[in-house]
Amino acid sequence: MTENCPDNRPVGVFDSGLGGLTAIRSLLRILPEEDLIYFGDTARVPYGNRAPETILQYARQDVRFLRSFRLKAIVIACGTISTTSLDTLQAENPDLPFVGVVEPACRRAAAVTKRKRVGIIATRASIRSGAYESALRRIDPEITVFGEPCPLFVPLVENGRFRPGDIVIETVAREYLAPLLQNDIDALILGCTHYPLLQEVIADICGPSVELVSAGEESAYELKRLLKARRMRGDPEHAGETRFYVSDRTEDFENTASIFLREDLRHAARRVDIEQY
């Protein structure tokens, strides 16, 4: 496609559940002309405690569903899938560019850390994969990395327990963040895309000396760069639309999505039988 011929095909965005909405929120802001198709696998969330083979099997089905649309790119708006399955998914779908969350978040963290001490919080599968750590070391070998899995965060967020003042989420967050703060980090990668929904809670505990980096948000910037480089941007005059699909009850997803995206999304989501893909 050339600059004069906009590419109006939609972009697919997916996650195990609600987390990818953090990428959607940024995409709506920085690429308002693009049509987006979101899939959240709410019937099978969380992915983050599962074996890499299971995560890949689920991710393949998610991609097959998204590919039932004529897409121009896919954003894997999920740390767990990005850290375990991105290379395989890209190799299996060579005609479609994939954007993950790891590299963009690590580039940003490397740019903002002054003491070169970076913390990463993510799911167990992501921390076990070592993908964030290797990416950070590749970018700057002098950075010391401290990783902490936070397995209770995703179920709590999926159940709406993400607001400041909620004693359960605050207690859990304090416990997870304490070892990282003791290690004197000055940048913290929210390496699971659900975690920016906890931004206020995490920021309150970490204080102003720790810069938070949202993996979901950085992936949106990466998509923008990719579409520009490949001359695949949509028509700038077009008002992009987002379609939401989930694999379980639509109502719970719509409620949280409405709060997070500050938009009334009642009746906006459709249910998909993901096992068919």
State in angstroms the smallest separation of the CB of 210 from ligand DGL: 20
| Residue among 41, 115, 125, 111 at smallest CA distance from 81 | 125
User: Which member of 154, 213, 227, 232 binds ligand DGL (CB under 6 A)?
Assistant: 154
Q: Write out the H or E segment, with its range, that includes residue 118.
A: strand 117-122
Which residue, 217 or 234, has its beta carbon nearer to ligand DGL? 217
Active-site residue 106, yes or no? no
Identify the three-state secondary structure at position 113. coil
The footprint of ligand DGL on residues 69-98 (CB under 6 A) is: 78-80
Q: How many Cβ atoms sit within 10 Å of the Cβ of residue 208?
A: 6
The footprint of ligand DGL on residues 105-144 (CB under 6 A) is: 123, 126
Is residue 47 part of the contact set for ligand DGL (CB under 6 A)? Answer: yes
User: Which member of 72, 108, 161, 194 binds ligand DGL (CB under 6 A)?
Assistant: 194
Catalytic residue among 78, 106, 150, 206: 78
Question: Kind of pairing, strands 269-271 and 242-246?
Answer: parallel
Sheet of strand 144-149, all strands in order from the earlier edge strand to the far edge? 144-149, 117-122, 187-190, 211-214
Cβ(162)–Cβ(19) below 8 Å: no
Quote the tokens at residue 155: 């179920």
State in angstroms the smallest separation of the CB of 195 from ligand DGL: 8
Is residue 272 part of the contact set for ligand DGL (CB under 6 A)? Answer: no
**Contacts with ligand DGL, residue ranges (CB under 6 A):** 15-17, 19, 45-48, 78-80, 123, 126, 154, 192-194
Active site residues: 78, 192
